[in-house]
């Protein structure tokens, strides 16, 4: 039931982001010249590195899911024996990669603000900050979920299917956030 409920909830989140994409394309269609001028201020290499880190975090998250499915909450070998890592270690790595992404977004916001691209400056600024900002809030929600799952793994007397299911549905959310970012990255940074 938890998995089904999560998928239904993610479907509603998909509709939310579809609305943001529609807003972006509508404003872009109405202000083509402005878009060409403002997108020139984007730092594509910086955003690409940030995107690669976020996409790679989906793989580390999935490694944590595989460990949770084996009912292995923590590592059984040395710190650098990655093959023996448990869910906790993979989720901690995923958390740090997600935090790196959020820090990168904050840095990009600071760079764009210095270029006079702000939320209230024009339609482009509004569309850029609304789409990436709401995505960033979703990433932060995922980071909180990872902390919750990691804490739950330490608090559980016995790591069982209940804890594993929580880890799995958290991964659904994280993969969703990553896929949405890939769409946003392609629309904002690639499709100029």
Domains of the chain with bracketed CATH: 2-190 (1.20.120.80)
pLDDT tens digit string along 33-80? 888 888 899 999 999 999 999 999 999 999 999 999 999 988 888 888
Q: Helix, strand, coil shares of the chain as percentages rounded to 5?
A: 80, 0, 20
Looking at residue 79, the DSSP 8-state letter turns out to be T
pLDDT tens digit string along 145-188? 999 999 999 988 888 888 889 999 999 999 999 999 999 999 99
What is the reported pTM? 0.91
Three-state DSSP class for 72?
Answer: coil
Q: At 47, list the tokens.
A: 């955003």
Q: At 27, list the tokens.
A: 């404003």
Looking at residue 75, the DSSP 8-state letter turns out to be -
Q: Which of 135, 141, 139 is nearest to 183 (CA)?
A: 135
Contact 185, 54 (CB under 8 A): no
Which spans in 31-86 are helix H? Answer: 32-39, 44-69
Rounded Cα gap, residues 9 and 37, in angstroms: 37
pLDDT tens digit string along 103-135? 999 999 999 999 998 888 888 999 999 999 999
163: Cβ contacts below 8 Å, ≥ 6 apart: 68, 73, 149, 152, 153, 156
166: Cβ contacts below 8 Å, ≥ 6 apart: 2, 149, 152
């Amino acid at each position: 039931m938890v998995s089904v409920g999560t998928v239904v909830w993610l479907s509603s989140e998909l509709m939310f982001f579809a609305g943001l994409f529609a807003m972006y394309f509508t404003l872009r269609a109405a202000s083509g010249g402005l878009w060409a001028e403002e997108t020139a201020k984007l730092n594509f290499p910086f955003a690409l590195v940030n995107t690669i880190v976020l996409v790679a975090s989906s793989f580390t998250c999935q490694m944590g899911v595989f460990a949770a499915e084996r009912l292995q909450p923590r590592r059984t070998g040395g710190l650098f024996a990655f093959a023996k890592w448990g869910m906790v270690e993979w989720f901690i790595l995923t958390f740090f990669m997600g935090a790196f992404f959020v820090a990168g977004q904050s840095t990009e916001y600071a760079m764009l603000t210095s270029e006079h691209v702000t939320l209230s400056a024009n339609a482009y600024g509004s569309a850029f900050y609304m789409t990436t900002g709401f995505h960033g809030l979703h990433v932060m929600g995922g980071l909180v979920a990872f902390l919750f799952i990691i804490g739950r793994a330490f608090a559980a007397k016995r790591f069982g299917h209940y804890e594993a299911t929580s880890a799995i549905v958290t991964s659904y959310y994280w993969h969703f956030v990553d896929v949405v970012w890939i769409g946003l990255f392609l629309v904002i940074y690639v499709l100029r």
